Structure 1
Amino acid sequence: MSQPVFAPWDDPNEKPLIRFENVTKRFGDFVAIDDLSLSIYESEFFALLGPSGCGKTTMMRMLAGFENPSAGKIELAGKNIAGIPPNKRAVNMMFQSYALFPHLSVWENIAFGLKRGDMSKADIAARVEEMLKLTRLTKFAKRKPHQISGGQRQRVALARSLAKAPKLLLLDEPLGALDKKLRQDTQFELMDIQESTGTTFVIVTHDQEEAMTVASRVAVMDEGQIIQVATPGGIYEAPNSVYVADFIGDVNIISGTVKAAGENMYHLDWVANEAPLLAASERPFSDGQEAHLAIRPEKIAISTEKPTEMKNAVQGTVLDIAYLGNLSTYHVQLAGGQVIKAQTANTRRLSRRTITWEDKVWISWSATAGVLLER
């Protein structure tokens, strides 16, 4: 039996765990969050993604209780949480610095928050053991933070944050201090832990790859506003703007004016002396409207001969080749001066390259390969 798809945001009867309703946050004259509304559901792994200063950490701090909104309201499980102090919320926050107590062992670090409640010693011990097992730290229980690696310290901080079984765990750039390989391994560990506890995770990150890997949904932010909220696949394949397309992964943007070319089909006039490009779009455009065609490099084919089947084929010259082991990216300059990236997978061992620098080549793609955007 196949598992039901996890998509509570598509179910009108689902009530969100967190609701931002027309939230604005000002610091003096500076508007950090601008009339923002957002729903996050139980058991989601939700990512707030954006450049530094876009407001994502301010949102996180409002959820944690370190800041209150200047206008609008934030609800957690249906209750307005404005004015509720951080220690009285069913919310825990894990900081980038991990903030572990250096003089306490791993075991004592995890137990610290539990000892301040009214749990019995036996219950505390059982809970700490459970957290050690969950984060695979059992054999490091007696060590001090300086005696374990950065990745293990990160897991201690996670175990401590989860020990009190919060409804919501906030993670502020939690993997920022780890090197790339460890970071990737830890992303999968985080996903496993989130899935096995069912806790709602909200992660703040400026790393697109991280957000795309771990999250059930991603909110792309800019200047205090949410530009788009969607699943990682939705953000990548169907961005709603040039900003989102450009922020996530590599993309080519070709701008011009459109005119209708049949049902859900448009011609894009993009440069003088070149045939218009054909693009499919379910979003309607009017004739003469300015539009931007966003196409991912992996959706563009490159060949020495002119392809006959493809709807869009343009000739250019190879300026640059980036060999990335599994992929090669070709930078092709077109007659109008625009540089387009085309990517091919290196499925065979490196034999002699058929296409090299300065070669005249054809790049081609289908009418459905790109997304036509208004802004």
Structure 2
Amino acid sequence: MAEPVFAPWADPNEKPLIQFKGVTKRFGDFVAIDNLTQDIFAQEFFALLGPSGCGKTTMMRMLAGFETPTEGQILIAGQDMAGVPPNKRAVNMMFQSYALFPHLSVAENIAFGLKREGMPKGNIDDRVKEMLRLTRLERFAQRKPHQISGGQRQRVALARSLAKAPKLLLLDEPLGALDAKLRQQTQFELMDIQEKTGTTFVIVTHDQEEAMTVASRVAVMDEGRIMQVATPAEIYEQPNSVYVADFIGDVNIIEGTATPEGKGYDVAWAEGQRPFHAETDKSFSKDQRCFLAMRPEKVAISTDEPEARNRVQGKIIDIAYLGNLSTYHVELPGGTMMKAQTANTRRLSRRALTWEDQVWLSWTDTAAVMLEG
């Protein structure tokens, strides 16, 4: 039998662990969070994604209790958090700097919060052992933070945050200090640990790849508002706005005007050019301004004219060779630029295409997402 898909947000009987209800946060005249309502469910790995200054860290700090909402309510497990100090919340926060105590060993760092709570020594030892095992740090228990690598320090901070068994762990750009390869490895470790402990994780990041890798759902933010909340696949394949389409991954965005045609719309995009065609469930009126958002990997490139309804000729202006992929930047009539991507499956294959070549781009009727202007 197939494993049931984890999607508590789709079940009307599920109670959320976290509820933001009409939350606004102002700093003087600046509105950091603008009337935000959002539910987060137990055992989710929820990512807050957006550019600097979009309000994602403010949201997290309000959850932790370091900031108070100007208006609205935040509930955790049904309890209003107004006036509940950070140390009385079933929440722990892991900071970007890790903030480990340099003079304490790895094991002592992990035990620190438990000692402060007055947990009996035997229980502390058991819990520290469990955390060392979970984060694969048993061999490093007696070392000091400066004697281990950045990735290991990151895991110590995680073990310390999880030692108190919080209902909710907040991670603020937790992998920011790691190099690319280690980041990738650590993302999978984080997912593994989150699954094993069943703790709800909320991560703040401006790295879209990270959000798309680790999260059960991603909230894309802009100027204190959540623009779209969905699974990584939905955000990538079905963005609800030009902002979200543009923020996530590489995308072609072509502006035009819509005319109903068959199962979808013809989109006029340049004087004297054949319109593009897109199928969509959305409704557009005749001559309504619209945008086609299309991922480069859905655009085929060839030297011969293809049979596809959506085809256009252009000239290769630039080629980015990324090892496993090549991205071709193609100038269309009227100056519009489009990107097409091909997988380099064979060594030095497809080198027939080069700068200044005239090529054809084509795609299916369902490849583009049609968005309102």
Paired letter, 1:228: Q
Count of aligned positions: 373
Asked if the contact 2:105–2:144 (Cα under 8 Å) also holds between the matched residues in 1, the reply is yes
**Aligned 1:188-227 pairs, distance under 5 A:** 188-227=188-227
Specify the code of the residue in structure 1 equivalent to 2:144: K
Choose which of 364, 370, 374 in structure 1 pairs with 2:368.
370
The 5-angstrom pairing of residues 5-24 of structure 1 reads: 5-24=5-24
Alignment deviations for residues 278-308 of structure 1 (CA, whole Å, 9 cap, x no partner): 0011011111111000000000000000001
Aligned to 2:286: 287
Residue 299 (structure 1) aligns with: 298
State which of 310, 325, 328 in structure 1 corresponds to 2:326: 328
Q: Within 2, Cα distance between the matches of 1:198 and 1:339?
A: 46
TM-score by length of 2: 0.99
Q: Which residue does the alignment assign to 1:277?
A: 276
Aligned-pair CA distance for 1:82: 1.4
Query: Which 4+ stretches in 1 moved above 4 angstroms?
Result: none
Deviations 1:66-102 (A, max 9, x none): 0010001000001101110000000000000000000
The 2-side partners of 1:288 and 1:337 are apart by 22
Equivalent residue for 1:44? 44
Give the Cα separation in 2 of the matches to 1:168 and 1:95.
Answer: 14
Amino acid at match of 1:348: R
How far apart, CA to CA, are the structure 2 residues paired with 1:77 and 1:267? 49
In the alignment, which residue of structure 1 is the partner of 2:125?
A: 125
2:324 alignment partner AA:
N
Deviations 1:89-130 (A, max 9, x none): 000000000000000000000000001123211100000000
Pairwise CA distance, 1:355: 1.0
| Amino acid in the other structure paired with 2:116 | R
Alpha-carbon contact 2:344-2:350 (below 8 Å) kept = no
Q: Quote the residue 1:111 is aligned against.
A: 111
Shift of residue 352, structure 1, vs aligned partner: 6.4
Distance of 2:266 and 2:192 partners within structure 1: 46
The 3 A distance-change label for structure 1 pair 32 and 352 is closer
Report what 1:77 is aligned to.
Answer: 77
Partner of 1:153: 153
Give 1:351 deviation, angstroms. 4.0
Name the counterpart of 2:63: 63
Deviations 1:29-52 (A, max 9, x none): 100000001000000000000000
Provide the rounded CA distance (Å) in 1 between the counterparts of 2:9 and 2:350: 50
Q: Which amino acid aligns with 2:226?
A: I
**Secondary structure in 2 matching 1:336:** helix
| CA RMSD across the alignment | 0.7
- SS of the equivalent of 1:82 reads coil
Find the aligned partners of 1:44 and 1:229 in 2 and give their Cα distance. Answer: 13
For 1:238, the aligned partner's letter is Q
- What's the TM-score, normalizing by structure 1? 0.99
Task: Look up the match of 1:34.
Answer: 34
- The amino acid that maps onto 1:39 is D
SS at match of 1:57: helix
**For residues 9 and 92 of structure 2, what CA distance do their matches in structure 1 show?**
23
Return the match for 1:318 from 316, 319, 322.
Answer: 316
The 1-side partners of 2:172 and 2:351 are apart by 44
Q: Name which of structure 1's ranges 128-137 and 344-353 shifts more when overlaid on structure 2.
A: 344-353
Give the fraction of aligned pairs with identical amino acids, expressed as a percent: 74
Could you list the per-position Cα deviations for residues 202-234 of structure 1 after superposition, in whole angstroms to 9, with x for gaps in the alignment?
Answer: 000000000000000000000000000000000
Q: Gaps spanning 5+ residues in structure 1: where? A: none
> Quick one: distance in 2 between partners of 1:295 and 1:237?
9
Which structure 2 residue ranges, 5 or more long, are not aligned?
A: none
Cα distance in 2 for residues equivalent to 1:95 and 1:371: 37
SS state at 1:118 partner: coil
Give how far 1:262 is off.
2.0
Match of 2:168 in 1: 168
Instruction: Give me the whole-angstrom Cα distance separating, in 1, the residues matched to 2:319 and 2:115.
Output: 59
Please say if 1:135 is aligned against 2:99: no
